[in-house]
Chain A
Amino acid sequence: MTAGIGTLSQAELVRYSRHVILPEVGLAGQERLKASRVLVVGCGGLGSPVALYLAAAGVGTLGLVDFDTVDASNLQRQILHGTSGVGGSKLDSAEARLLNLNPYTRIERYDTRLTASNALEIIEGYDVVVDGTDNFPTRYLVNDACVLAGVPNAYGSIFRFEGQASVFATADGPCYRCLFRDPPPAGAVPNCAEGGVLGVLPGLVGTIQATEAIKLLLGIGKPLIGELLLVNALDMDFKRLRIRKDPGCPACGTREIKELVDIEQVCEVPVAGAYGELTVGALADRRAARHELFILDVREPHEWAIGRIDGAELIPLGELHRSLDRVPHDRDVVVYCKGGTRSAQAADLLAKSGYTRVYNVAGGILAWSAEIDPTIPRY
C-alpha cells in the first residue's frame, strides 16, 4: 500500500496538494471533505458545476438526484453532460464524468423525482444539500425538508441573465420561506425553458453554491447565511441583500409545517380566467374526429421554425392583444406554447377578452412531441 497520512493516500495528497497548503483547509480540512456527504438535487445547469467542483475538491460522497434524460438543448449550459450522452440518463452521464474527474469520489444515485414521500429519507444523512432544481414545487420541498432535517441548503436559482444565491436552513439562519412565503401561482413567473437563460450563468451561480457548500463543510469564512446574493451578468453586478429570519415563517419560525406536502397540484392550477385545460391526447382525439378547431401557437417565430402542430396559426404571446381579430369566436380555440405557461397567459387573455371556448394545451408542444408526434424536435 502506498504511503499516506491519516485517511488520505499518497495519490490523494498529491491530487489535493493545492488545498492542503491553504491554512484554512490543511490536512485536517481535506480529510474532513473526504468524510463529507453532499446531496446535489438536480444535475442540470446549476448541478453541473456544483457536482464537478465538489468532486474535484475531494468531497467524499456526492448524492445525485435526477430522473431526467439528457436533451440536446441541455448542452448549452449543463456541462456535466456531453453530446454522446443525449437520450441517456443524466445520472449515468453525471456519474461517468465525475468518476473520471475524481475516482476517489463515491456517488450515491437517486434516479427519482424528489417528492414529499421520499425527500426526508434522501436528505437525512447528508451534511449539506445543494438546490439545483428548476421548478418552484421542488424548491419549496427542498427548503422544507432541509428545515425539518436540520441540513443546510446552499441555494441558487437563475433566469435569463440574473441569478440568486444564499444559504438557508442553518440552525439560526432564515429559510427560503422567510423570503418568499409561498410559491407563485402557475404562470406568474416564467421558467428558463420559457424565458431563456445565458448558458454561462449557471456556471457563475453554481460555483458560488459549491463555494458555500465547501465553506459550510469546513466551517470557514462567512457563508451567505441571512444574505441574498443577486447576480446580474449583463451588468456584471453583484448585490447583497439582508434576509431576516421571519418569526412568522411557517417552516422555520412557527414550525407549523411539520410534514412535507407535494405542492405540484397547487402550482398547476391556472392563474385565472374561464378557460379549460386539454391534454395532448385529447387534442389528438379531437383532430382525429375532425372537430373544427382554431389551434393557436403563441411561441416565438424561431420556436415555430423548430416544429409546430399541423394546422396551427402563429401569433406570439406579445402580439396577441393586438391580433385578436385573427382569432375566431365561432369554434374552440386551442392554445399551445412550449410547455404550457405562455399559453395559459394567452388563454387567460382570450377568456378575459370575451372568448368562451378557450382551451390551454397542458405540457405544450413538448408533451405533443413526447406523446403524439416524436418527429417534432424537443428543444
Chain B
Amino acid sequence: MAVTVSLPAVLARHAGGVRTHTVGGTTLGDALASITRDYPDLGRRLSEATNPSNAFVAIYVNDEDARFLGGLTTPIRDGDEISVVSAIAGG
C-alpha cells in the first residue's frame, strides 16, 4: 500500500528538499502525517497554509481538490497521487 505525495518547490524546502515522497496510510490525513512526523516544520506550514479562512495551498487526491472529497478523512488507495499545490505569483 503506497501513495505518492508531490510537494511544490516552495514547500519541498521544508521537507529535506525532496519533492516526491512515497508513504502509506488509509486516509489523506495519515499520508500527510507520515511526512510531517519527519518534517514538523512542513506540518506547521501546511496547517497554516490550508487554514480555510486563508488557504493558499490546496491538496489534491488524484485530480480532485480534497476540500470537496472529505478533507483529511478522504480515503486513499494504493497508487493514488496526492498533489500539494501552492499559490505562486512569479511572472
A contacts, CB < 8 Å to B: 42, 44-47, 131-136, 139, 156-162, 164, 179-185, 188-192, 195, 197, 202, 228, 230, 239-244
Contacts and interface: CB of A to CB of B under 8 A. Distances in A.
Given A191-B90, A241-B85, 14 more contacts: A45-B90, A132-B91, A139-B89, A157-B89, A158-B90, A159-B10, A159-B89, A162-B8, A162-B9, A164-B85, A181-B54, A184-B49, A195-B10, A228-B85
A230 B85 contact: yes
14 contacts: A44-B91, A46-B91, A157-B91, A158-B88, A159-B8, A159-B89, A161-B9, A164-B85, A181-B54, A183-B87, A189-B86, A197-B90, A228-B85, A230-B83
A228 B87 CA distance: 12
Given A158-B91, A242-B63, A184 B9 contact: no
Nearest to A136: B89
B55 interface: yes
B83 A241 contact: yes
Interface residues of B, number: 22
A132 B90 CA distance: 8
Contacts, number: 94
Which 5 residue pairs across A and B have the least CB separation, nearest first? Answer: A192-B90, A184-B56, A134-B91, A159-B88, A158-B90
Contact of B68 (A45, A162, A244): A244
Nearest to A50: B91
Given A188-B49, A228-B85, A241-B63, A182 B54 contact: yes
A46 B9 CA distance: 19
Given A46-B91, A157-B88, A180-B87, A190 B56 contact: no
B90 A243 contact: no
B65 A241 contact: yes
A241 B49 CA distance: 19
A189 B56 contact: yes
A136 B91 contact: no
A157 B64 contact: no
A14 B64 CA distance: 46
Contacts of A179: 58, 65, 87
Contacts of A158: 88, 90-91
Contacts of A239: 63, 83
Interface in B61-76: 63-65, 68
B87 A189 contact: yes
Nearest to B62: A241
Contacts of B55: 180-182
Contacts of A240: 63
A292 B48 CA distance: 37
A177 B10 CA distance: 20
A44 B90 CA distance: 10
B85 A156 contact: no
